[in-house]
Structure 1
Amino acid sequence: MKIKRWKEDEKWWLWGDFGERVREAMEPYRRNGALLFYLHFFPDSDLSLATHGQLVKVTGLIWELDKVLRMVVSCGSVSLESSYEKVNRCIYTSTLLYEFEEPGMRPSYVRESCFLWRMAYSERFSTDFYITDRKSGIRALVKAGADSNVIPLIIESTLVKTTRKCEVLSSPLRKWLTERNLSAEARLLRLEEGYVKEGSSVSVIGMFQKQNDAVMIVQPQEIISTRCLFRKMLLPADFDGLILGLPRMADSASHSNAMQPLD
């Protein structure tokens, strides 16, 4: 097999290495694309007709924690707070930090390629929450907390992106990095954050369980395939956890849209 080569500053850069990095970087997008398409086209279930162990999709509003506690005193749900923006009363939060790599040998046209951003740090948390099925009006407990495998399809928003002219990072960013034992030296960074707040609308795919009068949505006990999605030219993707995403007409409070000035 021939490997295409470029010569730059008397050094050889192999296209084969870059192509492998492209494939590795694109794999999560391919899988998430298949899961997102599966989530949007999976029909909403009517929980009043669902049977124990059935795979269901529920779209509805998340109950606010204080309302749940007034109704069910023994509820053990705990709300979350986003890591960087400190947005409270969330049921899911994610904060991702990317660093820009500076490979010494590469063709000039890939200097600003998105594939040169490397994830340096990530935080993802979810907790149990209640959701009200918009079809039947039934309130169900979604077991998305500890010991649950959750597959989030939440798109993070870019909050901070440093430039090459940046000599000193902003104090909030330095504090955030220091608290996590990360280097606070000035460099090319991109910080993204996403969250789902209580009171917003979400879609969940999981397994239906009913114990006495308690209705729960839990992660599937077996691996499930999306099968081939011919309309979108997507290969099948397997999943074995709760799929959490936003409906097509999502609430603006469901994820971060705020932008901060560049450092």
Structure 2
Amino acid sequence: MNQNKLSLSHSNVAAQTFKLPLIPSLALYILFALFLFALSVSLFILVVVHNPLFFLFFLFLFSLIAAFLLWNSLSYRNNTTILHYLHSLPDSDLTVASHGHLVKITGHVSCGNASLESSYEKVGRCVYASTLLFECGELGLKPVDVKESCFGWRLVYSERLSTDFYITDNNSGIRAFVKAGPDSRVIPLIKESRLVTTAKNCKVLASHMRKWLRDRNLSSEARLLRLEEGYIKEGSLISVFGVLQRSNEVMVITPPQELISTGCLWKKLLLPVDVDGLILAIP
């Protein structure tokens, strides 16, 4: 089967194909030194002059910077930055798009020589499928008994698969081949839906759940579990962002060979993120 195993793991670490740009160490040292200097001056004025205005201004400024960094951290973890970047780009016109240029295509997908089946629901004729299993443990360090309360979910198993497929451009009607199979770096911005959440008073897992766990050499003991699944089925409307390769009348969308930066999205107060791969997203 011509499929791409984006992630197939028993660990809670998933490979990332996007990252924040590296900040020079010197810049961090300078910012930290300025922070200590401003804090020292504001405290000195507060204690000696008994004027709290400068100290309050420092706290206000520090709160703004902390909120800005927290917002960017959450946006990075939730793929919000990449989604805003992708949605801000207009759809490309394939009739005039040049070979080797980045293009964004929105259209309906169809399977190529191979198709995928979702792991748990067994939904067939998919071009992308993912299944995530979360286990409830105390601070994410150990499993808990079903009678205990949940302190946090941790990812214990994940499957992310993609395969080559076709997409028909909504604007031009042109059909392009998308290389999302083996050796292709793919960034699937597809949100998984929650299918199963076991209850705290559950003593025995459902038979289908136990079989799914045993097939993957996972413990089938009753415990707090959450299973999520996502997929792109044939006929779905998606957006693809990659590099256009023209060969005679055949159009192929491939992953970019170099990192792509989203740039600063100032209207959303978002810092740039470097993207390394073909992007698949719901428009």
Superposition TM-score tier, normalisation by shorter sequence: 0.7 to 0.9
Counterpart mapping for 1:25-64 below 5 A: 29-30=76-77, 32-63=79-110
Q: What is the alpha-carbon distance in structure 1 between the residues aligned to residue 202 and residue 278 of structure 2?
A: 41
Which one-letter code corresponds to 1:195 in the other structure? Y
1:234 Cα shift? 1.6
Query: 2:136 aligns to what?
Result: 100
SS in structure 2 at match of 1:50: coil
Structure 1 counterpart SS, 2:133:
strand
Choose between structure 1 and 2: higher helix proportion.
2
Query: Shift of the alpha carbon at 1:103?
Result: 3.9
Q: Does 2:127 align with 1:80?
A: no
Match of 1:189 in 2: 225
Q: Does 1:90 align with 2:126?
A: yes
Calculate the aligned-residue CA RMSD, in Å: 2.1
2:237 alignment counterpart: 201
Deviations 1:184-221 (A, max 9, x none): 01111100000010111110000010012210000001
Aligned AA for 2:97?
Answer: A
Q: 1:112 to 1:236 in 2, by over 3 A?
A: farther
1:177 maps onto 2:224 in alignment: no
SS in 2 for 1:165: coil
Superposed displacement of residue 77, structure 1: 2.3
1:227-248 per-residue CA deviation (whole Å, 9 max, x = no partner) reads 111122222111110000011x
Task: Choose from 115, 119, 122 the match for 2:158.
Answer: 122
Which residue of 1 is the match for residue 259 of structure 2? 223
Q: Is the Cα–Cα contact under 8 Å of residues 55 and 208 in structure 1 kept in the other structure?
A: yes
Q: Distance in 2 between matches of 1:235 and 1:117?
A: 28
Equivalenced residue count is: 206
- Name the CA distance, whole Å, in 2 between partners of 1:34 and 1:95: 23
What's the counterpart of residue 235 of structure 1? Answer: 271
CA distance in 1, matches of 2:74, 2:155: 15
User: Aligned partners of 1:191 and 1:84: how far apart in 2?
Assistant: 9
Q: 2:222 and 2:121 mapped to 1: Cα distance?
A: 20
Is the partner of 2:134 in helix, strand or coil? strand
TM-score, normalised by the number of residues in structure 2: 0.69
- AA in 1 matched with 2:264: C
Structure 1 equivalent of residue 17 of structure 2: none
Runs (5+) with no aligned partner, structure 2 = 1-35, 37-69, 142-148
What is the CA–CA distance in structure 2 between the aligned matches of 1:174 and 1:130, rounded to whole Å? Answer: 36
- Measured in 2, the distance between the counterparts of 1:220 and 1:180 equals 33
Deviation >6 Å, runs of 4+: none
Distance (whole Å) between structure 2 residues aligned to residue 161 and residue 154 of structure 1 = 20
Residue-by-residue CA offset, 1:92-125 (whole Å, 9 max, x unaligned): 00000001111499xxxxx756xx2110000000
Is there any run of 5+ residues in structure 1 with no aligned partner, and where?
2-22, 66-75, 106-110, 248-263
Asked if the contact 1:161/1:188 (under 8 Å) is kept, the reply is: yes
Structure 1 residue 180 displacement after superposition = 0.1
Cα shift readout 1:48-78 (whole Å, capped 9, x = no counterpart)? 1111110100001113x4xxxxxxxxxx620
Q: CA deviation at 1:30?
A: 3.5
Amino acid at match of 1:171: S
Does the CA-based 8 Å contact 2:166-2:176 persist in structure 1?
yes
Identity in percent: 62
Aligned to 1:34, what secondary structure does the other structure show?
helix
